[in-house]
Amino acid sequence: MGVSMDKKQLVHKIIVMIFFILLMSPFLILLLWAFSKVWTAGSIFPHDWGLRGWQYILNPQNKILSVIGTSIFLSLAVTLVATIISIPAGKALGLYDFPGKNIVEILVLAPIIIPPITIGMGIHVIFIKYGLVDTFLGVLLIHLVVVMPYGIRIFASVYKAMGLKWEEQSKILKANNWQRFIYVTLPFLKPGLITSGILMFNVSFSQYFLTFLIGGGKIVTLPLVLFPYINSGDRVIGSVISLIFILIALIFMFIIERVITDPKQKSSYYYL
Amino acid sequence: MKYKPYLYLAPALLVLTIFFLGGLVFALLQSFGYFPVLGLTQFTLKYYLLVVKQKEFMASLTFTLYIAFVSTFLSTIIAIYLANYMVNLKQKNKVIDFMYKLPIAVPHIVAALMIVFLISQGGFLARIFINLGVINESGQFPPVFYSRNAIGIITIYMWKEIPFITLMIYTVMKNIHGKLNDVAATLKASPWQVFFQVTLPLSMPSIISASAIVFAFSFGAFEIPFLLGATYPKALPVWAYYNYISPDLYNRPIAMVITIILTSVCVMLVGLYYLFMKKYLRQWG
């Protein structure tokens, strides 16, 4: 019995190991490409190493740096605005019962299920009419739609878990609205802020279609620059852009976890 | 005090109503041929008939469903296996914990690039095969991109979706594990019994919602099939997009019909899935 159990566990361990090798292998290929100089077709490893891709990125003429700036600024703005809107909305859904709540819940879930292409193509005419096309504001607004549902749902579950009793308690102690929010509610919201912040930033940061359609080529973000490299073009440059893309996402994750860290409940809070 | 929740919701509802519902309603109106810019103000089902009658329609719908079903199904099964494995580890494995979360932070488009470099005909795997003498030239490597089997696209989705589903169900499984698995073990249940009779049924709600989100995403996704899909049949979002950018503006209503069908099928399938699973869960519990 004991022996067969060990064997079984070993089989599982090997399966999981193979899985992780497969899961990580794309990163290794990307690293190889990003630091290679010559890598002819047919050979397994690069012939020569170099920083050609990095030089291309750093050259201001190629405008990649300003694109990175736009991307980060856009996604930060989207995340910030979406967070500010999502917290009270989450509070309403998490703490109160009110007529029409079901409809609101469906409306909040819907943008996760309904393809962004439908929304984007449908609203495009209106955005053109009101001059929102090709503008930063237009892209920000359309990003809000796809990002907010995550925030609202996360904050709704945070408020639900917290309940009304804490706020009532602080009301009895005569704390004003701001004091209540800062000293009572905010500590409860921290894990939710981490999760929603990371998730919303990521969804906005990797959004291609809506940025492309509404931004009309005027608002250029990283996914737009990377797009043509997927099936053609210089693989070295494509790899470096990809690597920068991943690094920014990771750095943002790291910073946000550091800034709003709660020693008791660290990360891995993905409410949905 | 009664107006309070509405006040809290107001900004969110404003944004969602104008931009989300607005987009949906305008797509719907245009699909029925209401397009004042072109002087079209008559409601008609003409464009629906035009789309449904095309041979490409069924091929495209089937192709889109195939990609979404296969990638979601495989990702869900693997994610359940992985989450269950992680929950049963004696102590939290920090390396595993870091590695499985990594792809979640990677945008789909970067995932696509990496997997193209790995398994396309000019990719790493093909190069290894050439050097091993299995094949003579890269053209002999089975094409997984631009092909009707869509293996490449499915691989990209799985690479992104397995970690996402794992993350969503792992948190739930961990809570169940702490509370109930010890009880089950005391009652001398085998690991299989514990998994099938305790862990799986109780984590089912999170499995259902994670897989539904993933299905809806891959069903409606545009970029990857646009870049790496077959020329025929095209995935529905890609087909819609080609009609949308056509210089002939009269193709716009056709594009809208395709996205409305896409949306309806997606909503219907996710709805049915929830209803079916709910019923099933009740019988199980």
Interface touch B171/A230, C-beta < 8 Å: no
Q: Strand, helix or coil at B59?
A: helix
Interface touch B16/A148, C-beta < 8 Å: yes
Interface touch B26/A125, C-beta < 8 Å: yes
Interface touch B171/A268, C-beta < 8 Å: yes
SS3 for chain A, per residue? CHHHHHHHHHHHHHHHHHHHHHHHHHHHHHHHHHCEEECCCCCCCCCEECCHHHHHHHCHHHCHHHHHHHHHHHHHHHHHHHHHHHHHHHHHHHHCCCCCHHHHHHHHHHHHHCCHHHHHHHHHHHHHHCCCCCCHHHHHHHHHHHHHHHHHHHHHHHHHHHCCHHHHHHHHCCCCHHHHHHHHHHHHHHHHHHHHHHHHHHHHHCCCHHHHHHHCCCCCCHHHHHHHHCCCCCHHHHHHHHHHHHHHHHHHHHHHHHHCCCCCCCCCCCCC
CA distance, residue B214 to nearest chain A CA (Å): 9
Domains of chain B by start residue, with CATH: 60-282 (1.10.3720.10)
Number of other residues whose CB lies within 10 A of the CB of residue A172: 8
Domains of chain A by start residue, with CATH: 2-50 (no CATH), 53-268 (1.10.3720.10)
The whole-number average pLDDT for the span A198-216 is 94
| pLDDT tens, position by position, B43-53 | 999 999 999 99
Cis amide leading into B233 (omega within 30): yes
- Is the model's pLDDT at B283 over the cut of 80? no
Q: Give the whole-number percent of chain A exceeding pLDDT 70.
A: 93
Residue partners of B168: CB distance under 8 A and separation at least 6: A270, A272, B206, B209, B210
- Is the model's pLDDT at A5 over the cut of 70? no
The whole-number average pLDDT for the span B250-274 is 94
| pLDDT on residue A190 | 85
- Is the model's pLDDT at A41 over the cut of 80? no
* Cα–Cα distance, A49 to A47 (Å, whole number): 7
CA distance, residue A60 to nearest chain B CA (Å): 23
| pLDDT tens, position by position, A72-113 | 999 999 999 999 999 999 999 999 999 999 999 999 989 999
The whole-number average pLDDT for the span B145-156 is 95
| pLDDT on residue B284 | 64
Q: What is the DSSP letter of B223?
A: H
Number of other residues whose CB lies within 10 A of the CB of residue B89: 11
* Cα–Cα distance, A97 to B170 (Å, whole number): 30
* Cα–Cα distance, B285 to B270 (Å, whole number): 22
| Per-residue tokens: A12 | 């599982």
The single-letter code of the amino acid at A175 is A
Interface touch B270/A113, C-beta < 8 Å: yes
Enumerate residues 148 to 167 of chain B having a beta carbon within 8 A of any beta carbon in chain A: 159, 162-163, 167
Q: Give the whole-number percent of chain B exceeding pLDDT 90.
A: 60
Name chain B contacts of A208, Cβ cutoff 8 Å.
108-109, 222-223
φ, ψ of residue A220 to 5 degrees: the values are -105, 125
- Is the model's pLDDT at B3 over the cut of 50? yes
Closest to A256 (Cα-Cα) out of B12, B160, B105: B105
Number of other residues whose CB lies within 10 A of the CB of residue B233: 21
The single-letter code of the amino acid at A46 is P
Q: Are B266 and A113 in contact (CB under 8 A)?
A: yes
* Cα–Cα distance, A252 to A254 (Å, whole number): 5
Q: What is the DSSP letter of B200?
A: H
Q: Is A16 on the interface with B (CB under 8 A)?
A: yes
Closest Cβ opposite residue B24 in set A122, A152, A231: A122
φ, ψ of residue A38 to 5 degrees: the values are -125, 125
| pLDDT on residue A266 | 45
| pLDDT on residue A162 | 83
- Is the model's pLDDT at B166 over the cut of 80? yes
| pLDDT on residue A182 | 81
Q: Is B268 on the interface with A (CB under 8 A)?
A: no
| pLDDT on residue B271 | 92
- Is the model's pLDDT at A263 over the cut of 60? no
| pLDDT on residue A269 | 43
Angle at B160 (CA atoms; ends B12, A244), nearest 5 degrees = 85
Nearest CA in chain A to B13: A104
Cα dihedral A249, A255, A258, A259 sign = negative
Number of other residues whose CB lies within 10 A of the CB of residue A127: 23
CA distance, residue B149 to nearest chain A CA (Å): 18
Interface touch B19/A123, C-beta < 8 Å: yes
Name chain A contacts of B15, Cβ cutoff 8 Å.
85, 141, 144-145, 148
Interface touch B23/A152, C-beta < 8 Å: no
* Cα–Cα distance, B256 to B33 (Å, whole number): 9
The single-letter code of the amino acid at B146 is Y
- Is the model's pLDDT at B255 over the cut of 80? yes
- Is the model's pLDDT at B13 over the cut of 50? yes
| pLDDT on residue A46 | 82
Place of tokens 């290929």: A29
| pLDDT on residue A101 | 93
Residues composing chain B: 285
Closest to A36 (Cα-Cα) out of A22, A20, A47, A23: A47
Q: Strand, helix or coil at B35?
A: strand
* Cα–Cα distance, B237 to A209 (Å, whole number): 11
pLDDT-derived band at A1, boundaries 50, 70, 90: very low
Q: Is A175 left (phi over 0), alpha (psi -120 to 50) or beta?
A: beta
How many Å from the N-terminal Cα to the C-terminal Cα in chain A? 41
| pLDDT tens, position by position, B98-116 | 899 899 889 999 999 999 9
Q: Is A141 on the interface with B (CB under 8 A)?
A: yes
CA distance, residue A235 to nearest chain B CA (Å): 8
- Is the model's pLDDT at B203 over the cut of 50? yes
The whole-number average pLDDT for the span A209-226 is 94
* Cα–Cα distance, B246 to B15 (Å, whole number): 30
Round the average pLDDT of chain A to a whole number and report it. Answer: 87
* Interface mutation vs chain B, best among A39, A101, A117, most B CBs within 10 Å: A117
| pLDDT tens, position by position, A135-167 | 999 999 999 999 999 999 999 988 988 887 777
- The CA distances from residue A132 to A87, A141, B252, B255, in Å, are 26, 9, 20, 22
A·B CB contacts under 8 A: 248
- Is the model's pLDDT at A63 over the cut of 50? yes
pTM of the model: 0.91
pLDDT-derived band at B180, boundaries 50, 70, 90: confident
* Cα–Cα distance, A84 to A88 (Å, whole number): 8
| pLDDT on residue A4 | 66
Name chain A contacts of B167, Cβ cutoff 8 Å.
268, 270
| pLDDT on residue B182 | 73
Q: Which of B89-93, B109-113, B239-243 shows the lowest mean pLDDT across its residues?
A: B89-93
| pLDDT on residue A271 | 36
Q: Is B133 on the interface with A (CB under 8 A)?
A: no
| pLDDT tens, position by position, A162-197 | 887 777 777 788 778 788 788 888 888 888 898 899
Interface touch B118/A23, C-beta < 8 Å: no
- Is the model's pLDDT at A262 over the cut of 60? no
Cα dihedral A234, A236, A237, A239 sign = positive
- The CA distances from residue A156 to A104, B269, B271, in Å, are 12, 26, 22
**Choice between B38 and A58, residue whose per-residue pLDDT is larger:** A58
Q: Please state the ipTM of this predicted complex.
A: 0.89
